[in-house]
């Protein structure tokens, strides 16, 4: 009887951990590592959605009627296995599409343009250009959690993703906002590395758009 009760406790714990994991999209936020920003705009102020940010004095998102989202190149030069090379090829387009899709449903802008690789972004007044780079991309170990000692492998070989963004006033060429966001965690969700990385980039796109929605309401940046 005691053994049966113990197994019930174990099964309940597994079920609850799965439920909690399913409520969290991707890896946990971590402080960005060495974000670059620009010469006069450094992302140092913490924000619960965008990670760390800096906003140029006088910037008002509401005066812009359009935004153009350009591809985010992967600038992480670390050694990659075959699977991570595949992520480098697919994640920029995936992240760009996530940003564009989420921006379009917010109605923050009358027009949201997805700029393809090699195409010129639109020019003119009252247009923002969203550009940036993926400065860290590592899929981490996704060995099945049921494999003996897999937890140690997952802990030491973690999924890592970091993005840096710039919002540029197209008419003046001035960078108005910079942000940096990082996600990092062992893959404990019984997911493939590709699925976990996609979830993490989806979460970063979601949270960045939330940040813009707050700016559009005139809310100040706040610490998390």
Distance CA 61, CA 77 (A): 34
Mean pLDDT (whole number) for 143-170? 68
Name the percent of the chain lying above pLDDT 90: 59
Measured in whole angstroms, the distance separating CA 14 from the mean position of its chain's CA atoms is: 28
Count of other CB atoms within 10 angstroms of residue 173: 8
Distance CA 75, CA 220 (A): 31
Taking the whole predicted model, whether its pTM rises above 0.85 is answered as no
Say whether pLDDT at 167 is over 90.
Answer: yes
Mean pLDDT (whole number) for 115-129? 89
Mean pLDDT (whole number) for 23-50? 90
* Sign of the dihedral defined by the CA atoms of residues 53, 55, 61, 65, in that order: negative
Residue showing tokens 């559009």: 216
Distance CA 37, CA 16 (A): 40
- Structural contact between residues 178 and 43, judged by C-beta atoms closer than 8 angstroms: yes
- Please state which of the ranges 13-22, 165-174, 192-201 shows the lowest mean pLDDT: 13-22
- Structural contact between residues 73 and 195, judged by C-beta atoms closer than 8 angstroms: no
The pLDDT, as a whole number, for residue 13 is 42
Joined tokens for residue 97:
């599409």
* HSE-up (13 A, CA, CB side) for residue 91: 34
Mean pLDDT (whole number) for 95-109? 97
Residue showing tokens 């813009």: 212
Domains and CATH numbers, the chain: 26-216 (3.40.50)
The pLDDT, as a whole number, for residue 74 is 94
User: Nearest Cα to 204, choosing from 176, 160, 162?
Assistant: 162
* Sign of the dihedral defined by the CA atoms of residues 49, 53, 58, 63, in that order: negative
Say whether pLDDT at 147 is over 80.
Answer: no
The pLDDT, as a whole number, for residue 149 is 42
- Please state which of the ranges 14-18, 38-42, 119-123 shows the lowest mean pLDDT: 14-18
Joined tokens for residue 220:
């100040």
Say whether pLDDT at 213 is over 60.
Answer: yes
The pLDDT, as a whole number, for residue 83 is 77
Composition of the chain by helix, strand, coil, percent to 5: 35, 25, 40
User: Nearest Cα to 139, choosing from 99, 94, 199?
Assistant: 199
């Amino acid at each position: 009887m005691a053994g049966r009760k113990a197994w019930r406790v174990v099964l309940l714990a597994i079920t609850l951990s799965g439920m909690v994991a399913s409520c969290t999209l991707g890896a946990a936020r971590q402080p960005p590592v060495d974000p670059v920003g620009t010469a006069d705009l450094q992302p140092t102020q913490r924000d619960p959605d965008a990670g760390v940010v800096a906003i140029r004095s006088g910037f008002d998102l509401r005066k812009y009627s359009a935004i153009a989202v350009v591809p985010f190149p992967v600038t992480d030069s670390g050694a990659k296995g075959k699977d991570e090379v595949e992520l480098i090829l697919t994640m920029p387009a995936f992240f760009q599409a996530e940003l564009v899709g989420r921006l379009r449903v917010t109605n923050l802008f009358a027009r949201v343009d997805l700029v393809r690789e090699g195409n010129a972004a639109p020019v003119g007044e009252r247009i923002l250009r969203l550009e940036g780079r993926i400065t860290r991309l590592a899929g981490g170990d996704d060995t099945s959690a049921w494999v003996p000692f897999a937890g140690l492998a997952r802990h030491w070989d973690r999924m890592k993703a970091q993005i840096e963004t710039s919002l540029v006033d197209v008419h003046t060429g001035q960078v108005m906002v910079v942000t940096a966001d990082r996600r990092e965690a062992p893959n404990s969700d019984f997911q493939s590395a590709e699925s976990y990385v996609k979830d993490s980039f989806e979460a970063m796109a979601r949270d960045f758009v939330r940040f813009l929605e707050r700016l559009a309401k005139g809310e100040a940046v706040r610490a998390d």
